[in-house]
Amino acid sequence: MNNYSLKLDKVTKIFGRRLIFNEIDFEFYPGKIYGLAGQNGSGKSTLSKIISGIISPTKGKVNHMLDNKIIPSEKLHDIIGFVSPYLVLYDEFTAEENLVHFAKIRGAVYNETQADKLFGDFNLFDRKNDLLKTYSSGMKQRMKYLFALLHNPYLLLLDEPTSNLDKAGKDKVYEIIRDESKSKCIIIASNESSDLELCGEIIQIENYK
């Protein structure tokens, strides 16, 4: 188990005059699966973006900690694996070229052995050299997990994690989430009951209006 933790300290977000959520206080630790739940438009994706550093809270702080030291914002991409509907994939690249490209963006060496294992885990190994534009929506969703897991992050942040997946795809994702939760902190933002059933603790966004 790693010594990573995440703390939300009175995190508030306001868009214009609209309050999205107010003063969320919560702590997250590895070895657990947490849920962010609420109706569509409640702020689940907004909170996910704040946690990942994509956008800033209006008030409050988000502290990612490792060995009791705050991880600087410019290093968050090293410790977070993110799956979301707004993650950009490059259709003109092959699946493997996408992974190589994003490894370069992170400043990391492409780990072909780890990538091949993940291609196999998600039943994409035979298609890794195909252009992404030939992939179905479900295959692209599975590809997002390869992006999220390739660098072995401390935090796995999953926004709508089973979008576009059939039952077999969902079952595989759930299996991997349970396995990864043994060593990682996992946060699932969803209103799907089957997704939230995995979670030991759930933040109901509506409680922070």
Lookup: tokens for 207: 């409680």
The amino acid at residue 161 is: P
Q: What is the mean pLDDT of residues 159-179?
A: 94
Q: What is the mean pLDDT of residues 19-39?
A: 97
Residue 144: CB partners within 8 Å, gap ≥ 6?
Answer: 83, 84, 87, 89
pLDDT at 1: 64
Q: Which domains occur in the chain, in start order?
A: 4-208 (3.40.50.300)
pLDDT at 36: 98
Question: Over the chain, what is the mean pLDDT?
Answer: 95
pLDDT, one tens digit per residue, over 123-138 is: 999 999 999 999 999 9
Q: What is the mean pLDDT of residues 78-96?
A: 93
CB 122 within 8 A of CB 157: no
3-class SS of residue 180? helix
Q: What is the mean pLDDT of residues 30-35?
A: 97
User: For residue 140, how far is the Cα from the chain centroid?
Assistant: 15
The amino acid at residue 48 is: S
Q: How far apart are CA 84 and CA 126, in angstroms?
A: 24
Q: What is the mean pLDDT of residues 50-75?
A: 95
E strands, the chain, are 4-15, 18-28, 33-37, 59-66, 69-70, 80-83, 155-159, 185-189, 201-204
- 18-33: buried (b, 16+ CB within 10 Å) or exposed (e) per residue? eebbbebebebebeeb
